Amino acid sequence: MYSIPTQRMGAATMSGSYVPNKSFHGTIAYVTGDTESFRGTYDGNSVSAPNLTQVAGTYVGLRADNHTITVTVDSTGTLSGHSTDGCTVTGTLSPRVQGNAFRTSVTLKGGACGTETETLAGVAFYDVETNRLYSAALNHTRTTSFLFLGVKQ
How is 80-147 classified by DSSP, letter by letter? EEEETTS-EEEEEEEE-SSSSEEEEEEEEESGGGTSSSEEEEEEEEEETTTTEEEEEEE-TTS--EEE
- According to DSSP, residue 32 is labeled T
- The CA R_g of the chain, rounded to the nearest whole Å, is 16
Going from N- to C-terminal start, the domains of the chain cover 2-42, 48-152
- Sign of the alpha-carbon torsion through 7, 105, 58, 69: positive
Select 48-152's CATH number: 1.10.10, 2.40.128, 3.90.320, 3.90.930: 2.40.128
Whether this prediction's pTM lies above 0.85 is answered by: no
Contact 90, 120 (CB under 8 A): no
Residues 6 or more apart whose CB falls under 8 angstroms from that of 105 comprise 91, 92, 94, 119, 120, 121, 137
Strand partners, 146: 137
In sequence order, what DSSP letters do the residues of 13-31 get, joined into one string?
EEEEEEETTTEEEEEEEET
- Give the Å distances, CA to CA, from 83 to 33, 73, 111, 126: 36, 15, 12, 20
pLDDT tens series, the chain, 153 aa:
656 566 666 788 889 999 988 999 999 888 888 888 989 888 777 778 899 999 999 999 987 678 899 999 999 999 999 999 888 999 999 999 887 899 999 998 876 777 778 899 999 999 888 999 999 999 888 888 888 899 999
What's the pLDDT tens digit per position in 55-66?
999 999 987 678
